[in-house]
Amino acid sequence: MNVNELKTTAQLAMLDIPDPEKLAQAFSEMLDNFSKMMAVDVEGLEPTTHALAQGNRLREDVPRGTDESEAVLDRAPEREDRFFKIPNVL
């Protein structure tokens, strides 16, 4: 992986990479391993997206009785009344 590719990927993931050159090297090794896997013929096989998927997991459309809103608001770094508060992002 070249450094520019890594920088773009990091940017998409909102990650700050202190030493891109070094990491790019490590990523390249990882990608080499992937390319070995990619070489395997999987024609006609369904991709394994979930190792433990056993049937549907559905939820009935019934409201949960408990109110957890105060608890989650209290855990916010900053709140204003009932709002979560962050620096202006507009």
The residues that touch other proteins, with contacts defined as CB under 8 A, are 12-14, 49-50, 53-64, 67-69, 72-73, 80-90
Query: Please, what sign has the CA dihedral across residues 15, 19, 24, 29?
Result: negative
What phi-psi label fits residue 55: left (phi over 0), alpha (psi between -120 and 50 degrees) or beta?
left
Shortest approach of other proteins to residue 48 CB, angstroms?
10
- CB closer to other proteins out of 35 and 88: 88
Shortest approach of other proteins to residue 37 CB, angstroms?
16
- CB closer to other proteins out of 2 and 22: 2
Helix H, strand E, coil C: the string for 25-40 is HHHHHHHHHHHHHHCC
- CB closer to other proteins out of 21 and 68: 68
> What angle (nearest 5°) sits at the alpha carbon of residue 38, between those of residues 32 and 47?
135
Shortest approach of other proteins to residue 79 CB, angstroms?
9
